[in-house]
């Protein structure tokens, strides 16, 4: 192999991998992990540290000062400006949440204009089962019907924001087809393959290969694994020519079980990239690879 | 190859394929296809004709006399009795519907006791896009959260009814895992792999092979394809050692575009089975293969 | 699915399948199957009958009058002319044999100029094991080193003959890479995926899907299955948008175990094509699909 | 994912990976890489250092003092004894070579009795193409017919040596079937999946997943990648629950392009294992995992 000879590279750069840092998330708190940034300044500090460690993209959920999720445009704007004061990292805003109306989840994207915003590409159960307690910890339906997806696509296009297509299952990749037919989505596409959420596609290398096979030849893609089990997926994705996402939204731990900071998680991903002969892309290299202006 | 040497056979019989006839469905009417049976007697006649043509299982949705869906226990009981007067076909009741509360969709199963009942294994978008009209014909979220799935599993187990696990995507197969851990589901499992609903896994032979790979070695499985495009999936499934479902719920047409009866659709599936060296199982053979008592 | 939406179609025509008839082969005799044609006239008669039954290509090994293989240019020329007197079928000559020097196996191709000639793309064990007798029936090394492959490619290109790339394993498909780099092979490529020879890739639908994945997007491909077990492979290939080869070289039997003629085998393949909504291509349609002049 | 939930683990240990060190090989010399050990003492020193770095198995080809390959029993015995004086690493002897008669390649195995010996499971082209020079560097047929394979299996069984099944393509895995039917091979099987030799299966993660799918559920397996491009395969295999081989036989370089010693290559593989949450097995742990007595 050279990585460049694999079909799985698709539109990615075989030599340079784009590392995203998912700095905050919405579901976890400092009770679980002290290192989660809450305020715009804390988030911006982590973005800058992640960039130093090798990240090219910061994926962001806003929080209030006590850590609860917020969809306030002013907070998102402040995060944006605090990051831009410190570093050139690509800024990516979440738009996903359970039980928050779509208009609230897109307004700050339209107003603040990040370079990228996440777009959930389908519905599914979103659950967690505890093997040790032998019970479901939570169990919801994550609803993203087509009319909402299309509304987000249109809003992002008008705002000049690149949609990052979040695919939790095989069908979610297939859901791009009618949007492409209607020219609502246009190439190149940027995919996140989320693996291991109960309700979506299970997290195996075999399934990752399957998801990647579905993608158009020009697509950019990254893998998103959940919990400490993300590291084997990161290693497999790097070997396939993929991009990767790490950060406290997805996982608190290094492979040895130590709790880490966002920058430490990014640094470990960068070391893994080196270990297979690839190098982390800088933000500007990432912009070029993804065709962001 | 002999079919028996393929991993994809799983718990099926390599020599005998089980043909299911989905006689009615819930969404289509006689305006679209005159041959759809409505009344218990009509459904039972079609069940008997399908059995003669090679079907071992009749999958049934009840209808009122004017064709609208009903969840009335008495109607289901009448269908059951009318079929049993005519033929030994295995009886399989649907439990799925959009916007009907779960208790209504399980009561007739508990009361009437078919041998098998369908169980939807996850949530997804359920949509239809028209290429010719360039628009979405419908667009819904098909909600099947875990608490509902578990409630259905429990009810079926208590009623001695075998659940048929309806999987519309890769994650739906994975959703069996926590239920197996909790011993709510027990082996052998019986899977239906539905392909080609917009929102779920696209209908390709590659994807069918992928779905089958996820299944436990002892599982029975059938493919369900939607619309006239089902025939290539039927042929591929037969070649992999799979069982198949046809009938007016899924598709009105023979491969040449002629509209057909339930019995004619079953007869074409039986011919395809012969064409690859397999034979349709009788209802009693099907019971033995699936371990139904 | 519509067949056209599957990646596996590659450069084939989703609506029209090209059926090849492998009329003679080299290894079997009339002691085993009375219907095998030996003389040029017999072969040409079978070619014409196969064409009537739906074949677009006749794949041919020459025989002497007593049935042993021959590489005599005059015999090949006579076969060619006898076929052309009777029918417009595309003519395809074998070039493979064990223990015959390469110059003998290419001369008649250069001299007679069929439209297509077979080209074995790699080496492997070529063996047969009898389960009933619990022993190896034969066990050879089928040698096709790169220098020989390249010599054949060059000779075919100079003679204006399209090479049909015979791939018995995954590596054989990969062997096209250096030849493409050197521009010895040029697109569109035409592949035969032979499955089920002991020593090469086992005959499963899963493996067929894997082989097809390796092919360039513009490639034509057909499946070749050996023995009566070919029928499930034929059905699967038709469902994936593939072309298919049948005929007495590969298999004597219909799926029900009846011994058949070449025309009957082709007719069964044509029926299978109809059964999944595809139609056999005529020779001229096949020429257009494959880009033969 | 946890690695243990992936089918691809097969009979391997999800937590502990077995690292093999291929210390010498037969084709390369100190002109190319100074660190290649030649003498029994040099080989034994490297085996001990590799063991310290994390290797559980030493795979060995004997050399004369000037570095040419030798099949001399005395040399193999001396290597064996020199290693045993220094370390408890599992000893694995090669049996493969081009143009050396089989009796010469098995005698030292029978006489010296390593714990494991390599067994090539099929024939193929064995070639190398230089992109820069645009020509074939070498081009041979690697012949391993069934009668030779069976002779080696029998000899190993009689000598109490575990065969390591070297599979260079999909068919080579399939070649185990008749040997299992004849009880010449017995479970558990130990596979090496060699990837990237021109003539065999190309080195992609997709192809690695395909090869692993073919293996019996109880099988042990490792990946062997050739040249500096091995590192992505090592990372992918570790993520799938696989074992891995590194060492100067396969590759001289760390991912950054630095030439390395055997121990340094092993150390990098061990770091990669840590990076995905797995640990190198000790020789005794490896013996337990593989069922070696
Ligand atoms: Zn997020
Ligand atoms: Zn139904
Ligand atoms: Zn031939
Ligand atoms: Zn070796």
Is there a contact between B123 and A145 if contact means CB atoms under 8 Å apart? no
pLDDT in tens, D70-80: 999 999 999 99
Whether the CB-CB separation of A61 and A249 falls below 8 Å is answered with yes
Average pLDDT score over residue span C49-68: 97
Residue A267 has pLDDT above 80, yes or no: yes
Q: Which of C164, D233, D140, C7 is nearest to A5 (CA)?
A: D233
| Nearest-neighbour CA in chain B from A122: distance (Å) | 6
Band of residue D198 on the pLDDT scale cut at 50, 70, 90: very high
Is there a contact between A271 and D275 if contact means CB atoms under 8 Å apart? yes
Residue B2 has pLDDT above 90, yes or no: no
Q: Does B256 touch chain C (CB under 8 A)?
A: yes
Helix (H) or strand (E) holding D176: helix D176-181
Peptide bond into B236 cis (omega under 30): no
Average of per-residue pLDDT values in chain B: 96
Tell me the ligand closest to D192's alpha carbon.
Answer: 4
Average pLDDT score over residue span B212-216: 96
Q: Which of A232, A240, A276 sits opposite D255 (nearest CB)?
A: A276
Whether the CB-CB separation of B120 and B144 falls below 8 Å is answered with yes
pLDDT in tens, C211-242: 999 999 999 999 999 988 899 999 999 999 99
Structure tokens at C189: 């490529």
pLDDT number for residue A1:
52
Spell out the residues 6+ positions from residue C190 whose beta carbon is closer than 8 angstroms to its own: C116, C162, C163, C164, C165, C219, C220, C221, C290
pLDDT number for residue A251:
96
pLDDT in tens, D264-282: 999 999 999 999 999 999 9
Q: What is the rounded CA–CA span in Å between residue C55 and residue C90?
A: 9
Length of chain B: 293
Residues above pLDDT 70, as percent of chain B: 100
The residue that leads in pLDDT, B228 or A147, is: A147
Average pLDDT score over residue span D165-194: 95
Strand B57-60 and strand B90-93: the pairing is: parallel
Q: Which of C228, C234, C276 sits opposite B231 (nearest CB)?
A: C276
For chain C, helix (H) and strand (E) counts, in that order, are: 10, 12
The residue that leads in pLDDT, A293 or A168, is: A168
Residues of D in contact with A202 (CB under 8 A): 1, 5
Domain ranges of chain D: 3-290
Residue D1 has pLDDT above 60, yes or no: no
Band of residue B1 on the pLDDT scale cut at 50, 70, 90: low
Tell me the ligand closest to D24's alpha carbon.
Answer: 4
Average pLDDT score over residue span D205-214: 97
Q: Which CATH architecture has domain C19-290?
A: Alpha-Beta Barrel (3.20)
| Nearest-neighbour CA in chain C from A245: distance (Å) | 28
Band of residue B71 on the pLDDT scale cut at 50, 70, 90: very high
Residue B32 has pLDDT above 70, yes or no: yes
Peptide bond into D188 cis (omega under 30): yes
- Chains A & C: contacts with CB separation below 8 Å: 3
Spell out the residues 6+ positions from residue D137 whose beta carbon is closer than 8 angstroms to its own: D127, D128, D129, D130
In chain C, residues 154-173 whose CB comes closer than 8 Å to chain D: 168-171
Helix (H) or strand (E) holding D211: helix D205-213
- Number of Cβ within a 10 Å radius of residue B24: 27
Is there a contact between B174 and A131 if contact means CB atoms under 8 Å apart? no
pLDDT number for residue C3:
85
Per-residue burial over D183-207, b if 16 or more Cβ lie within 10 Å, else e, is eebeeebbbbbbbbbbbbbbbbbbb
pLDDT number for residue D152:
96
Q: Which of B266, B249, B251 is nearest to B69 (CA)?
A: B249
pLDDT number for residue D151:
96
Q: What is the rounded CA–CA span in Å between residue D192 and residue B53?
A: 50
Residue A262 has pLDDT above 60, yes or no: yes
pLDDT number for residue A234:
98
Band of residue A131 on the pLDDT scale cut at 50, 70, 90: confident
- CA closest to B142 among chain A residues: A123
Residues of D in contact with C198 (CB under 8 A): 174-175, 178
For chain D, helix (H) and strand (E) counts, in that order, are: 10, 12
Q: Does A98 touch chain B (CB under 8 A)?
A: no
> Which chains have at least 3 CB atom pairs separated by less than 8 Å from chain A?
B, C, D
Spell out the residues 6+ positions from residue A209 whose beta carbon is closer than 8 angstroms to its own: A8, A240, D205, D206, D209
Residue D165 DSSP SS3: strand
pLDDT number for residue B98:
77
Q: Is C183 buried (19+), middle (13-18) or exposed (0-12) by CB count in 10 A? A: exposed
Residue D115 has pLDDT above 90, yes or no: yes
CA D78 to chain centre: 21
Q: Is A106 buried (19+), middle (13-18) or exposed (0-12) by CB count in 10 A? A: buried
Block residue for tokens 């976890």: A28
Tell me the ligand closest to B164's alpha carbon.
Answer: 2
Residue C1 has pLDDT above 70, yes or no: no
DSSP string, C19-51: EEEE---SS--TTT-TT---SHHHHHHHHHHHH
Q: What is the rounded CA–CA span in Å between residue D32 and residue D36?
A: 9
- CA closest to D215 among chain B residues: B7
CA of A51 to the centre of ligand 3 (A): 60
Q: How far is CA C124 from CA C29, C47, D115, D148, D169, in A?
A: 25, 31, 29, 14, 10
Q: What is the rounded CA–CA span in Å between residue D280 and residue A105?
A: 46
> Rounded to the nearest 5 degrees, what angle is found at the Cα of A220, between the Cα atoms of A264 and C6?
135
Q: Does A213 touch chain C (CB under 8 A)?
A: yes
What residues pair up with C16 in beta bridges, in sequence order?
A: C279
Peptide bond into D82 cis (omega under 30): no
Residues of A in contact with D258 (CB under 8 A): none
Structure tokens at D39: 């003498």
CA of A212 to the centre of ligand 1 (A): 21
Q: What is the rounded CA–CA span in Å between residue D260 and residue D36?
A: 10
Average of per-residue pLDDT values in chain C: 96
| Nearest-neighbour CA in chain A from B161: distance (Å) | 24
Structure tokens at C272: 């299978």
Residues of D in contact with C98 (CB under 8 A): none
Length of chain D: 293
pLDDT number for residue D229:
85
Q: Which of B103, B89, B28 is nearest to B63 (CA)?
A: B28
**Reported CATH class of domain B3-290:** alpha beta
- CA closest to A195 among chain D residues: D1
Q: Does B226 touch chain C (CB under 8 A)?
A: no
pLDDT number for residue A245:
98
Residues of B in contact with C3 (CB under 8 A): 229, 232
Q: What ipTM was estimated for this complex?
A: 0.96
Residues of C in contact with D140 (CB under 8 A): 145
Q: What is the rounded CA–CA span in Å between residue C16 and residue A181?
A: 25
In chain A, residues 274-293 whose CB comes closer than 8 Å to chain D: 274-277
pLDDT in tens, A63-84: 999 999 999 999 999 999 999 9
Q: Does A193 touch chain B (CB under 8 A)?
A: no
Residues of C in contact with D216 (CB under 8 A): none
pLDDT number for residue A3:
85
Residue C165 has pLDDT above 90, yes or no: yes
| Among the four given CATH numbers 3.40.50.720, 3.40.50.800, 3.40.50.300, 3.20.20.70, the one describing domain A13-288 | 3.20.20.70
CA C73 to chain centre: 20
Average pLDDT score over residue span B170-175: 98
Please, how many CA atoms are within 13 Å of residue B123, restricted to the half-sphere of its CB?
Answer: 24
């Amino acid at each position: 192999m050279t990585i460049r000879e694999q079909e799985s590279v698709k539109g990615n750069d075989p030599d340079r991998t784009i590392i995203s840092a998912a700095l905050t998330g919405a579901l976890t708190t400092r009770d679980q992990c002290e290192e989660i940034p809450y305020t715009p300044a804390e988030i911006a500090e982590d973005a800058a540290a992640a960039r130093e460690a090798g990240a090219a993209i910061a994926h962001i959920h806003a929080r209030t000062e006590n850590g609860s999720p917020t969809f306030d445009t002013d907070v998102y704007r402040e995060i944006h400006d605090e990051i831009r004061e410190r570093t050139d990292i690509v800024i990516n805003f979440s738009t996903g949440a359970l039980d928050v109306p779509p208009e609230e989840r897109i307004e700050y994207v339209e107003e603040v204009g990040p370079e990228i915003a996440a777009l959930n590409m389908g519905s599914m159960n979103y659950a967690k089962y505890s093997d040790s307690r032998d019970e479901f910890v939570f169990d919801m339906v994550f609803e993203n019907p087509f009319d909402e997806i299309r509304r987000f696509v249109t809003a992002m296009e008008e705002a000049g924001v690149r949609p990052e297509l979040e695919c939790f299952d095989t069908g979610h990749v297939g859901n791009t087809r009618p949007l492409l037919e209607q020219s609502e989505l246009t190439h190149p596409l940027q995919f996140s393959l989320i693996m291991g959420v109960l309700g979506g596609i299970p997290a195996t290398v075999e399934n990752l290969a399957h998801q990647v096979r579905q993608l158009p030849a020009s697509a950019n893609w990254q893998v998103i694994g959940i919990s400490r089990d993300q590291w084997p997926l990161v290693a497999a994705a790097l070997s396939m020519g993929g991009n990767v996402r790490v950060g406290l939204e997805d996982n608190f731990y290094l492979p040895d079980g130590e709790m880490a900071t966002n920058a430490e998680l990014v640094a470990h991903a960068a070391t893994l990239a080196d270990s297979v002969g690839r190098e982390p892309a800088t933000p500007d290299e990432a912009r070029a690879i993804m065709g962001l202006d």
